[in-house]
């Protein structure tokens, strides 16, 4: 079935989503992106909301086979940003009218880390007079830890499921009892129950992954009542087991990278068509494979951007994948560059706005009404 015929259907099923994701013909893809952008404009607006990304530590207890800061990568220099530098960058984001800040790090679960993050949340809320939205992206934690951080003032939490296929998930992680798909899914459920705006996402173009798998990912987002989605093409890191495997098998050719990139855009568009009022990020991984990747992501239906505000000296040590963009740019350069990219597609930047997911409020309103 052609894209035009699928787009005329009143609702999309798994087969429709799979077909849209696998579309590679240029005119068909453009029709898909045009339809998704129209839905974006109607449901969430032609606005790109900034989430200033502050990568404050690459210390990690996990050993994911694809990740550049995995525990066993001895080639990376480990760092933890000082409290003073974190707060200085948070103030920079506030002063430059970023509506929100994202604190991201490798995963730790010790009490010292939990308390440090809790204190940072309070301090950032204080310095911004409660005006800076705060997202945490620090991995799997206990329900008690999630609750402490929520009560301190964090209100969004993305945790990538990486793939909704447990068998495929197992190929991305060591089988040591510390990297379980069921645990990750449970964390998403806990976050939802506490009251966070919940985010998740997947990698696109993994070895052995099919368009049916990716269609199932979108249905997983729907069934898990996800508010924010951050997904992008799989990009190799040359010092990881999976990266070495992919390169040895010839899976990192220009052609393979292009297919992953196009699938990434198609996933954004197909997700926007099905989940009309969620927030969707145009991720840096898109730009790692194409110089205009994030612009094209916005035109395919994304509405969130994450300009880096990490302390410049630490940026080269926070490389989850190769060819990460903006590593050598200053925060000012990132701000100005992204603002130009947003303007080039006809959107505006939501400076000073939190840009919360409309889905979160729609869903909670519906639940409150049902309870009456």
pLDDT digits 0-9 by tens, 112-161:
999 999 999 999 999 999 999 999 999 999 999 999 999 999 999 999 99
1 in any annotated domain:
no
Tell me: pLDDT of 34 over 50.
Answer: yes
Tell me: pLDDT of 3 over 90.
Answer: yes
Structure tokens at 245: 């495997």
Q: What is the pLDDT of residue 336?
A: 86
**Least-confidence region, from 102-116, 122-136, 227-241, 332-346:** 332-346
Tell me: pLDDT of 76 over 60.
Answer: yes
41 in any annotated domain:
no
3-state SS assignment for residue 228: strand
Q: What is the pLDDT of residue 335?
A: 86
Residue 118 CB contacts under 8 Å (≥ 6 apart), including other chains: 148, 149, 152
Structure tokens at 307: 């300009």
Q: What is the pLDDT of residue 372?
A: 42
304 in any annotated domain:
yes
10 in any annotated domain:
no
37 in any annotated domain:
no
State the DSSP string of 67-97.
-TT-TT-TTSPP-B--HHHHHHHHHHHHHTT
Taking only the tens place, the pLDDT of each residue in 225-235 is: 999 999 999 99
Q: CATH number of the domain at 68, please.
A: 3.20.20.70
Q: Quick one: average pLDDT of 265-274?
A: 98
Cα distances from 368 to residues 111, 188, 225, 362, 372, in angstroms, run 35, 21, 15, 10, 7
Total of domains in the chain? 1
Taking only the tens place, the pLDDT of each residue in 46-74 is: 999 999 999 999 999 999 999 999 999 99
- Give the span between the Cα atoms of 156 and 43, in whole angstroms: 20
The confidence band for 363, taking pLDDT boundaries of 50, 70 and 90, is confident
293 in any annotated domain:
yes
Q: What is the pLDDT of residue 331?
A: 86
The confidence band for 326, taking pLDDT boundaries of 50, 70 and 90, is confident
Tell me: pLDDT of 319 over 90.
Answer: yes
Residue 249, domain extent: 46-371
- Give the span between the Cα atoms of 53 and 326, in whole angstroms: 12
Q: What is the pLDDT of residue 365?
A: 63
CA 301 to chain centre: 14
Q: What is the pLDDT of residue 329?
A: 85
- Pairing state of beta strands 279-280 and 228-229? parallel
191 in any annotated domain:
yes
**Least-confidence region, from 1-5, 52-56, 82-86, 223-227:** 1-5
331 in any annotated domain:
yes
Helix 181-194, helix 143-152: angle, nearest 10: 40
How much of the chain, in percent, has pLDDT values that exceed 70? 98
The confidence band for 371, taking pLDDT boundaries of 50, 70 and 90, is very low
Nearest Cα to Cα of residue 144 among 109, 170, 104, 184: 109
Q: What is the pLDDT of residue 370?
A: 52
Taking only the tens place, the pLDDT of each residue in 192-211 is: 999 999 999 999 999 999 99
Residue 328: strand pairing partners = none
Tell me: pLDDT of 84 over 50.
Answer: yes
- Pairing state of beta strands 197-200 and 228-229? parallel
pTM of the model: 0.96
The confidence band for 19, taking pLDDT boundaries of 50, 70 and 90, is very high
Q: What is the pLDDT of residue 334?
A: 86
């Amino acid at each position: 079935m052609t894209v035009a015929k699928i787009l005329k259907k009143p609702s999309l099923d798994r087969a429709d989503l799979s077909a849209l994701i696998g579309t590679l013909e240029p005119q068909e893809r453009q029709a898909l992106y045009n339809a998704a952008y129209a839905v974006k404009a109607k449901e969430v607006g032609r606005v790109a909301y900034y989430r200033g990304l502050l990568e404050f530590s690459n210390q990690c207890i996990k050993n994911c086979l694809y990740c550049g800061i995995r525990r066993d990568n001895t080639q990376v220099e480990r760092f933890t940003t000082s409290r003073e530098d974190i707060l200085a960058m948070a103030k920079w984001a506030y002063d430059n009218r970023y509506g929100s800040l994202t604190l991201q790090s490798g995963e730790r679960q010790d009490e010292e880390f939990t308390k440090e993050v809790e204190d940072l949340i309070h301090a950032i809320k204080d310095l911004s007079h409660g005006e800076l939205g705060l997202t945490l992206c620090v991995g799997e934690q206990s329900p008690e830890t999630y609750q402490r951080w929520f009560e301190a003032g964090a209100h969004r939490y993305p945790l990538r499921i990486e793939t909704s296929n447990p068998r495929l998930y197992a190929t991305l992680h060591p089988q040591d009892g510390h990297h379980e798909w069921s645990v990750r899914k449970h964390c998403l459920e806990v976050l939802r129950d506490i009251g966070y705006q919940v985010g998740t996402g997947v990698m696109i173009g993994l070895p052995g992954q099919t368009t049916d798998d990716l269609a199932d990912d979108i249905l997983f987002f729907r069934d898990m009542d996800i508010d924010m989605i951050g997904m992008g093409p799989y990009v190799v890191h040359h010092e990881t087991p999976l990266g070495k495997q992919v390169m040895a098998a010839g899976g990192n050719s220009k052609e393979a990278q292009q297919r992953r990139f196009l699938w990434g855009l198609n996933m954004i568009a197909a997700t926007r068509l099905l989940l009309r009022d969620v927030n969707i990020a145009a991720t840096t991984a898109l730009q790692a494979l194409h110089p205009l990747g994030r612009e094209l992501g916005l035109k395919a239906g994304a509405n969130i951007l994450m300009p880096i505000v990490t302390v410049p000296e630490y940026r080269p040590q926070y490389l989850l994948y190769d060819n990460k963009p903006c590593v050598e740019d200053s925060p000012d350069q990132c701000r100005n560059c992204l603002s130009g990219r947003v303007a080039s597609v006809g959107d505006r930047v939501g400076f000073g706005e939190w840009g919360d997911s409309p889905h979160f409020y729609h869903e909670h309103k519906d639940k409150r009404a049902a309870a009456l």
